[in-house]
Amino acid sequence: MTYDKIFKYIEQKKFFDKHDKVLIAVSGGVDSMNLLHFLHAYQKQFNIEIAIAHVNHKQRMQSDEEEAYLKNWAEKNQLPFYGGTYKGKFSEKKARDFRYAFFKKVMLRDGYTGLVTAHHADDQAETVFLRLLRGSRLRYLSGIKEVQPFACGQLIRPFLRFPKQDLPDIFHFDDSSNQEDRYLRNRIRNTYLPTLKQENPQLARHLIDLGAETEKLFQAFADLSKQLDVQDCQVFQNQSEPVQYFLLQEYLEQFPDLSISKAQFNNLLHILRTKSSYHHYLKNGYYLKKDDKRFEISKIGLKTDGDREERVLEYGGMVKYGQYTFSFQKESDSKEGFPLKNDSPILIRKRKPGDKIQLGSYSKKLRRLFIDEKIPLAKRSEAVIAEQDGEIILILFDDVTYLRKDFKDGIMKGRLYIQNRNW
């Protein structure tokens, strides 16, 4: 298959319509090398600037050779190259966490709003099968998403609908560790699925369809239940037991670092169904608080006296707000700071109910943004907001910045600089 079919699919899905700068995760294998060549060939049609991000895991003799090749390829094709080096004891999870933390750092620092990875349909089938094997809940059988929030933008997997066999066999590096049976995913790829395909050659497609249907099921449930005040005990207890079961799952999605077991989930569900008042430690710093009217899960940690007042930052001025110093200066050739289209005063404040930020052609409420980005509830109150002409232009945490997504044209008049005394 040529790249034309993939191009038409991506154009139809509008994956890159909201992005100017896109970071490509490239390992050097055939999948990611295809992704690199594809986006390099079509970047003008998508109207994007691309760059290469590569992590050297230092696990094979060829690792340095691969990094050198990609760095040279980027230089020859006049693309930015970002290289990271993994250190410490290796495991698949630690390496993956390191890679995505590295990608996130680059995106936030240099203004990339899209991260693109080369996951394809075979990866999707393997993921669904792996989660079945591990006994994951139904909602997690949806597998890998084509697009999901990440860092200051989106994580995009444009090849996810296409099997690996449809990708051209271009120059790439082979990773011999992919054949080692010590990793579960390798055993699934090399042994389990090939064996089961002898019974049903369409197994991979059925697994992918199962994931897609599961995702639609839970989206339908979320749409149908979005008007319910789940934390209202009377509302919750008036639902049938199956609805309560999935409402609680949906509520717990707000706390990705809670990670309760199935037994803990069942106990929590029993408490919400039967107890009138309850205050109990759950896990990882989270507590359940319940009275006759409402329940809440929250993380209790050390409190600091935050700056709750508002500050007005005039053009050419500087103000201090909590741990930050904000400076609003005229536009320059500097690549530091955040460019702004006008010189109106900037209001620095804390979050308010109903706040929303513009993300190109659409806006998103801060509450939804925090849920999508899996920001813990206790952390959300620490957000610092910069507002100009009644619109939020910037949301700031300790180490994460979310920017208003402007359209691609416009003359910049000012630049906002931020200094954190803890950085």
Per-residue model confidence as pLDDT tens for the chain (423 residues): 579 999 999 999 999 998 999 999 999 999 999 999 999 999 999 999 999 999 999 888 889 999 999 999 999 999 999 999 998 888 888 999 999 999 999 998 899 999 999 999 999 999 999 999 999 999 989 889 999 888 888 999 999 999 999 999 999 998 777 777 888 889 999 999 999 999 999 999 999 999 999 999 999 999 999 899 999 999 999 999 999 999 999 999 888 778 888 989 999 999 999 888 888 778 887 888 898 899 999 876 434 344 457 888 888 888 888 878 888 887 766 667 788 888 888 889 888 888 888 877 778 888 888 888 777 776 777 889 998 878 898 888 766 777 877 644 556 778 888 887 554
> Pairing between strand 114-116 and 153-156?
parallel
> To 5 degrees, how large is the angle CA 372–CA 118–CA 34?
150
Beta bridge partners of 156: 116, 147
Of 419, 421, 414, which Cα lies nearest the Cα of 334?
Answer: 414
Task: Find the helix packing angle between 262-274 and 241-252, rounded to 10°.
Answer: 120
Domains of the chain and CATH, by start: 4-196 (3.40.50.620), 228-299 (no CATH), 311-420 (no CATH)
Return the bridge partners of 325, or none. 320, 419
pLDDT in tens, 15-68: 999 899 999 999 999 999 999 999 999 999 999 999 999 999 988 888 999 999
